[in-house]
Structure formats: structure tokens, C-alpha cells
Amino acid sequence: MRIHVDADKCQGHNRCYAIAPELFDVDDLGYATALNDGVVPAELEEKARLAVANCPEYAITIEEG
């Protein structure tokens, strides 16, 4: 599984980073990026899905596989 943050949509609500700091980082302005090129270890897949489902801007997408 891979996650991607769309920088045009992200408004820095910081929900993803609060839920899964293992998968996301925030820059000095508070906007999010996916860590580790977006690659999600199997044990964090559930957290990745929760981050996607809580982003108010629909800025995070998942690529399965």
C-alpha cells in the first residue's frame, strides 16, 4: 500500500499527522507530506485508512498493492 498527499488540496488540518505520525510529517507551515515515499508497512495499513477517512479536505489517496 502507498499513500499520497495532494499538496494542492492539503490545508494543514493536521489530522493525518495526529493519527499516524509514523506515516506523515508536517512542514514548518503545517502542511503534510507522506514519509518514506508513501510506502505503508503492513501493520500500519489500518492507520493509513483512518488518516484518509479523517482528512477534511480529501487530500490523501491510497494506492493498494
Partner 1 sequence: MSDATDHQLSSHPPVTDWTTDFDHAVDEYAARAPEIWDELRSACPVAHSERYGGVWLPTRHEDVAAIAYDTEHFTSRSVVVTEGRPIAPAPRGIAPPISSDPPFHQEARRMLLPAFSPKAVNELEPYTRAYCNELLDAVAGAETFDAAVDYAQHIPVRVIAKMLGFPPEDGDIFRRIVHNALEAVDLPQEQRMMNFLTLDEYLRTQVQDHLDNPRDDLTSFLLNAEMDGEPLAPEHVGGTIALLLIAGIDTTWSAIGASLWHLAANPDDLARLVAEPALMPTAIEEFLRYYAPVTMARLVAEPVEIGGCPMQPDEWVLLPFPAANRDPEFFDRADEVVLDREVNRHAAFGLGIHRCAGSNLARMELRVALETFLERFPSFTLADPDAVRWSRGQVRGPRTLPVRITS
Residue numbers of the site for ligand SF4 (CB under 6 A)?
A: 5, 10-16, 32, 55, 57, 59-60
Nearer residue to ligand SF4 within complex by CB, 2 or 13: 13
**Of the candidates 26, 35, 44, 62, which one interacts with partner 1 according to CB under 8 A?**
26
Q: What kind and span of H or E run contains 18?
A: helix 15-19
The answer to the question of residue 56 lying near partner 1 (CB under 8 A) is: yes
Which class for 2: exposed (0-12), middle (13-18), buried (19 or more C-beta within 10 A)?
Answer: middle
Residue 8: partners with Cβ closer than 8 Å, 6 or more residues away = none
Nearer residue to partner 1 within complex by CB, 56 or 65: 56
